[in-house]
């Protein structure tokens, strides 16, 4: 609820602080004293557009601040405090500055969250009950637990349906593109698999290629080395020279035993050269001069080169890519199966959602008839005897999180007039009384804690005024109610009575507000009754006793 409202430098208001109570708060005063100006300040705080013309003459800015209890509304983490401070500074130059709990917010946020706290009813004022979403919420709340369960079921089904659609979209919906991707993956996998590459084979092929491509040159060079070491085609083969040297050294070692070790080394060298010559001859015998084998090896190495160039650059990279391609193909094949499964589930969920929404709609229609009948009863006692109120529930093709219904509160203010949307009802006084009727019926369901009524007594009198006063008192048991009135009977019903008045301050006139004591209330009520004589005072006292 509203704990305090502070207004500075707004039109005739220089510095005004208003402390409303928790029940029925009534504001009275002479015509032109500034009662509506106070409500204008609330409207500006709740998001109404403002120009610099509202700033008090000679000042640079106007400031409106209010402190609210947070209540049961779900607020974002930054605003989850017991009290909320709304403020708006209107400047002659530059933009307005809006804050919630000291944090700068756009005007739209001030308006959005303000609607969760205050309903301001009167001509050209904010009225949350004119918003379709609020009308739907109030109707649903009146439907009780049964309707709430149906609504939750629709919400759950809608959320499930949306998730399935999102999952299907994530899988992709282009069948032709998926088929092309599958073919391309299969081609790549088959091409790599058909190549049957291995690191061991590649190394062996490289060795063979070097040997085969250089076979003739190798044969010639090995033949020369073998001849030098072992054959007699040269004047003296190395092995023969070593044999001669070994005989001479053997004879010398017979004369000097210290040469025996050297002689043995020379003999070992001869044996090693003989073994080298034997191995070279074996190598030469095995060496092939095979052009067909060379071509086969070259072609096989070319296969390695092409595959690595296309999928590599290394053989290890090719092997890694092969694994990735196989995974992608498997995922693609699974995707097709998943898409078929999701499509079936989406169709099934749509059918269940439509049926649940239909059941919800039927319950809403039943609830709408009951609620409209209650509101029509309330309207008859508020000088709107010819008025007709109705709630339409129309199913639309597209379902949303709250169902498939378009819900609209409608009113025919006078006999013979057609029903029109509540938002198009012209008279501020009529719409305030309609709102009072609706609020009195929905008092326990409505979550907005503070209700402000302006012009609610326009064009009424007699018994109707008493009925309005009774409904305001009844409503004030559940909500904080603030009402600007010219009717003494409504003022007498107040829990808290405030007087708006003008006061000269130097050469300026300012608007003030005062919380009235019981004695002061009697004086104000006598003024409202038409005088301050003894008869008016007695009547005022009777009203206070009667309406207390």
Out of 356-370, 392-406, 414-428, the most confident range is 356-370
Asked if 23 and 99 sit in the same domain, the reply is yes
- 495 is in which domain, residue-wise? 1-123+448-454+480-516
pLDDT, one tens digit per residue, over 178-189 is 778 888 999 999
Structure tokens, 46: 């709740």
Closest CA to 452 of 144, 219, 114, 140: 114
Q: Which residue has the tokens 């009384």?
A: 433
Asked if residue 470 belongs to a domain, the reply is no
Boundary (domain end) residue, out of 260, 294, 329: 329
* Percentage of residues in the chain having pLDDT higher than 90: 34
In this predicted model, which residue has the larger pLDDT, 539 or 182? 539
The burial of 501, by beta-carbon neighbours within 10 Å (0-12 exposed, 13-18 middle, 19 or more buried), is given as middle
Asked if residue 264 belongs to a domain, the reply is yes
* Residue 15, domain CATH: 3.40.50.300
Kindly state the average pLDDT of the residues 230-247: 74
| pLDDT at residue 51, rounded to an integer | 85
Closest CA to 118 of 410, 479, 443: 479
Asked if 10 and 115 sit in the same domain, the reply is yes
pLDDT, one tens digit per residue, over 195-220 is 899 999 989 988 888 877 777 777 77
Asked if residue 1 belongs to a domain, the reply is yes
Provide the whole-model pTM: 0.62
Asked if 304 and 183 sit in the same domain, the reply is yes
- Rounded CA gap, 267 and 418, in Å? 133
Boundary (domain end) residue, out of 284, 300, 329: 329
Asked if 502 and 524 sit in the same domain, the reply is no
pLDDT, one tens digit per residue, over 446-457 is 778 899 988 777
pLDDT, one tens digit per residue, over 31-76 is 888 887 888 899 899 888 888 888 988 889 999 999 998 776 667 7
pLDDT surpassing 60 at residue 124: no
Asked if 292 and 186 sit in the same domain, the reply is yes
* Contact status, residue 35 vs residue 27, Cβ threshold 8 Å: yes
Q: Helix, strand or coil for residue 377?
A: helix
Asked if residue 408 belongs to a domain, the reply is no
Boundary (domain end) residue, out of 268, 295, 329: 329
Asked if 188 and 111 sit in the same domain, the reply is no
Asked if residue 196 belongs to a domain, the reply is yes
| pLDDT at residue 291, rounded to an integer | 74
- Rounded CA gap, 421 and 119, in Å? 19
CA angle 415, 421, 423 (to 5 degrees): 110
In this predicted model, which residue has the larger pLDDT, 506 or 541? 541
Q: Quote the DSSP letter at residue 418.
A: P
Assign residue 236 a region: left if phi > 0, alpha if psi is -120 to 50, beta otherwise? beta
| pLDDT at residue 365, rounded to an integer | 96
pLDDT surpassing 90 at residue 504: no
Mean pLDDT is lowest, of 85-89, 255-259, 348-352, for 255-259
| pLDDT at residue 355, rounded to an integer | 95
Asked if 499 and 535 sit in the same domain, the reply is no
| pLDDT at residue 99, rounded to an integer | 93
Asked if 54 and 30 sit in the same domain, the reply is yes
Asked if 241 and 292 sit in the same domain, the reply is yes
Kindly state the average pLDDT of the residues 523-535: 87
Asked if residue 242 belongs to a domain, the reply is yes
Mean pLDDT is lowest, of 83-87, 404-408, 452-456, for 452-456
DSSP element (H, E) containing 280:
helix 260-286
Asked if 254 and 190 sit in the same domain, the reply is yes
pLDDT surpassing 80 at residue 381: no
pLDDT, one tens digit per residue, over 317-343 is 999 999 999 988 887 777 777 888 888
Give 498's pLDDT tier (boundaries 50, 70, 90).
very high
Asked if 183 and 79 sit in the same domain, the reply is no
- Quote the number of domains for the chain: 3
pLDDT surpassing 80 at residue 525: yes
In this predicted model, which residue has the larger pLDDT, 368 or 251? 368
Asked if residue 94 belongs to a domain, the reply is yes
Out of 126-140, 183-197, 443-457, 525-539, the most confident range is 183-197
Q: Compute the mean pLDDT over every residue in the chain, rounded to the nearest whole number.
A: 86
pLDDT surpassing 90 at residue 162: yes
Asked if residue 289 belongs to a domain, the reply is yes
| pLDDT at residue 404, rounded to an integer | 93
Kindly state the average pLDDT of the residues 245-252: 84
Asked if 57 and 118 sit in the same domain, the reply is yes
| pLDDT at residue 125, rounded to an integer | 58
């Amino acid at each position: 609820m509203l704990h305090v409202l502070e207004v500075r430098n707004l039109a005739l208001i220089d510095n005004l602080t208003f402390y409303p109570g928790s029940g029925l708060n009534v504001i009275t005063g002479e015509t032109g004293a500034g009662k509506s100006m106070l409500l204008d300040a609330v409207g500006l705080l709740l998001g109404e557009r403002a120009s610099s013309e509202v700033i008090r003459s000679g000042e640079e800015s106007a400031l409106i601040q209010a402190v609210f209890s947070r209540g049961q509304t779900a607020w974002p983490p930054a605003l989850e405090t017991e009290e909320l401070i709304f403020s708006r500074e209107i400047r002659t130059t530059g933009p307005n500055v809006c804050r919630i709990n000291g944090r700068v917010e756009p005007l739209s946020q001030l308006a959005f969250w303000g609607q969760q706290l205050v309903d301001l009813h009167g001509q050209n004022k904010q009225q949350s009950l004119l918003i379709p979403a609020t009308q739907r919420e109030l109707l649903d709340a009146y439907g009780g637990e049964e309707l709430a369960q149906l609504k939750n079921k629709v919400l759950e089904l809608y959320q499930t349906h949306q998730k399935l659609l999102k999952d299907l979209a994530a899988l992709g919906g282009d069948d032709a593109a998926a088929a092309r991707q599958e073919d391309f993956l299969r081609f790549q996998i088959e091409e790599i698999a058909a190549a049957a590459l291995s690191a061991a084979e590649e190394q062996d092929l490289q060795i063979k290629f070097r040997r085969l491509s250089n076979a003739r040159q190798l044969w010639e060079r090995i033949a020369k080395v073998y001849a030098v070491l072992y054959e007699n085609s040269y004047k003296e083969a190395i092995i023969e020279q070593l044999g001669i040297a070994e005989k001479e050294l053997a004879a010398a070692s017979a004369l000097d035993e210290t040469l025996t070790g050297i002689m043995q080394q020379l003999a070992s060298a001869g044996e090693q050269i003989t073994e080298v010559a034997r191995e070279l001859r074996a190598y030469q015998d095995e060496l092939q001069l095979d052009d067909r084998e060379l071509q086969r090896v070259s072609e096989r190495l070319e296969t390695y080169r092409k595959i690595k160039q296309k999928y590599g650059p290394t053989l290890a990279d090719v092997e890694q890519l092969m694994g990735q391609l196989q995974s992608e193909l498997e995922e693609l094949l699974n995707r097709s199966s998943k898409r078929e499964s999701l499509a079936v589930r989406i169709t099934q969920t749509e059918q269940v959602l439509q049926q649940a929404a239909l059941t919800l709609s039927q319950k809403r229609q039943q609830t709408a008839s009951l609620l409209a009948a209650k509101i029509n009863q309330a309207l008859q006692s508020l000088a709107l005897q010819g008025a007709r109120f109705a709630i339409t529930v129309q199913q639309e093709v597209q379902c949303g999180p709250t169902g498939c219904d378009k819900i609209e509160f409608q009113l025919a203010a006078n006999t013979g007039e057609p029903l029109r949307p509540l938002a198009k009802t012209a008279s501020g006084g009529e719409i305030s009384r309609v709102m009072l009727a609706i609020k009195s019926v929905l008092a326990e369901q409505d979550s907005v804690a503070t209700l402000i009524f302006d012009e609610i007594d326009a064009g009424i009198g007699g018994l109707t005024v008493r009925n309005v006063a009774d409904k305001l008192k009844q409503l004030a048991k559940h909500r904080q109610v603030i009402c600007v009135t010219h009717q003494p009977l409504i003022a007498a019903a107040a829990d808290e009575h405030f007087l708006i008045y003008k006061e000269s301050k130097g050469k300026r006139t300012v608007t003030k507000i005062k919380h009235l004591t019981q004695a002061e209330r009697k004086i104000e009520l006598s003024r409202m009754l038409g005088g301050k004589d003894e008869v008016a005072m007695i009547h005022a006292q009777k009203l206070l006793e009667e309406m207390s």
